[in-house]
């Protein structure tokens, strides 16, 4: 399943269900077929997602330093979540909500 996130503040972001589910779990929200991040919710959601990305990067740094393995780029939360995070930041700055649908 594909989710489309949109806002008047920036370009649409399209993500597969697995990544959308992972991000919504981090945000502590159920992933529904349609929904909205309100203007009031955006600052908290942005902070939560940024914290999770930093934690993921830190854990990967420790794992890579210990095991000297190649990182799996597809699993990097920061790279995969960046487009949505950027849309959320643009929306917050312009006072616009972020909506999504299937």
Task: Decide: 46 and 85 in contact? Cβ < 8 Å.
Answer: yes
User: What was the pLDDT predicted at 97?
Assistant: 98
Q: Specify the pTM.
A: 0.84
Q: By residue range, what is the domain housing residue 42?
A: 2-101
Q: What is the 3-state secondary structure (H, E, C) of the chain?
A: CEEEEEECCEEEEEEEHHHHHHHHHHHCCCCCCEEEECCCCHHHHHHHHHHHHHHHHHHHHHHHHHHCCCCCHHHCHHHHHHHHHHHHHHHHHHCCCEEEEC
pLDDT at 75: 61
Kindly give the parts of the chain with pLDDT less than 50. 73-74
Q: How many domains does the chain have?
A: 1
Question: Which pair of tokens denotes residue 76?
Answer: 């990097």
């Amino acid at each position: 399943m594909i989710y489309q996130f949109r806002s008047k503040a920036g370009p649409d972001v399209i993500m597969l269900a697995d990544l959308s589910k992972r991000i919504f779990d981090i945000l502590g929200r159920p992933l529904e077929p349609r929904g909205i991040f309100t203007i009031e919710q955006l600052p908290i959601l942005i902070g939560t997602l940024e914290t999770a990305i930093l934690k993921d990067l830190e854990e990967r740094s420790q794992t890579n330093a210990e095991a000297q393995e190649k990182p799996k780029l597809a699993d990097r939360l920061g790279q995969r979540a960046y487009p949505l995070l950027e849309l959320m930041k643009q929306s917050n700055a312009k006072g616009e909500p972020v909506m999504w649908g299937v």
